[in-house]
Amino acid sequence: MRFRKMERKDVPSGLSLCRSAGWNQLSRDWEIFLTLEPEGSRVCVDDDGNVIGTVTTLRYSNHFSWIGMVLVDPAHQRKGIGLKLLEQALQILKDEDRVKLDATPAGRQVYIKLGFQDEYRLSRMWADSINTERFVASTATPLDYDDLDAVKLLDQKVFGADRMPLLRWMMEGAPDLAFKVGKGEQLRGYCFGRPGYRFTQIGPVVATNAEVARELVSAALERCGNIPVILDIPYHDESWSSWIHLLGFSELRPFVRMHKGNNHWPGVPGNQYSILGPEFG
């Protein structure tokens, strides 16, 4: 096997691996990795030059880095390629002392061997029909670009690092799914969303409490119509996860947020009610 830098010509191959794995990403999702970290992604290729595996990395200022999109062609699994891809990512991030990722239960066993530790549990929640009777009366209003300075201040506190390039990318891709409660110094929460191959995803959802989060998600789900929807939720607030179930969501798969090295920038996980996605954090 051979490894090289991922290039834009590899995006169709990445999408093919996504389809094989049942993942949700579109071309745009791959391209943002190559825009933000041109040297940060790797592919594994076979003897004929075909892409059979991928891994991506992102650096969030000097606070921590992220590993995502670890994919291996089903015909080449159980050959150690996934582990080699992780080693490639850690080599890219060798000068970083804080690395994070979201792991499936199977992947978690590999990550533990590489020195990662559990941080907290998440679930990918899925629904193809929403119980709109469980929506709450919402004061949420559409988010616009003038709100992003206030979003940056709250988001950096809650997420633990500056990720405004990603949030602007989210806004550009699905402005109709971006909402806020409050404004300026009184901003109490916000959410974004993005379309996908199989689902529309709502996240991140950041809020000062679960009631604000319910207002934001109610507003966003009203825009989704009958399209299947996913949220990747942490389990910090039992009332929040209970409400998500009442809306008609069920667990599609579990994740565990993990970190390697010190965790000086954990953010405020209790105020993050849905993450952006396991590939981004």
- Give residue-wise pLDDT tens across range 172-198: 999 999 999 999 999 999 999 999 999
For tokens 């667990």, name the residue.
251
C-alpha Rg value of the chain to the nearest Å: 18
CB atoms inside a 10 Å sphere around CB 8: 12
Domains 2-96 and 124-274 share a fold: yes
> Which CATH architecture describes the domain 124-274?
3-Layer(aba) Sandwich (3.40)
Q: What amino acid is encoded at 6 in this protein?
A: M
Ranges of H-type helices in 44-92: 81-92
Neighbours of 186 (CB within 10 A): 8
% of the chain beyond a pLDDT of 70: 100
User: What is the amino acid identity at position 64?
Assistant: F
Give the pairing of strands 229-234 and 200-207: parallel
Residue with the bigger pLDDT between 231 and 226: it is 231
Residue pLDDT, tens place only, 32-42 = 999 999 999 99
Give the pTM: 0.95
Q: Residue 182 in contact with residue 188, Cβ under 8 Å?
A: yes
- 143: confidence class by pLDDT, cuts 50, 70, 90: very high
Helix (H) or strand (E) holding 222: helix 210-222
Which CATH number describes the domain made up of 2-96? 3.40.630.30
Domain boundaries, the chain: 2-96, 124-274
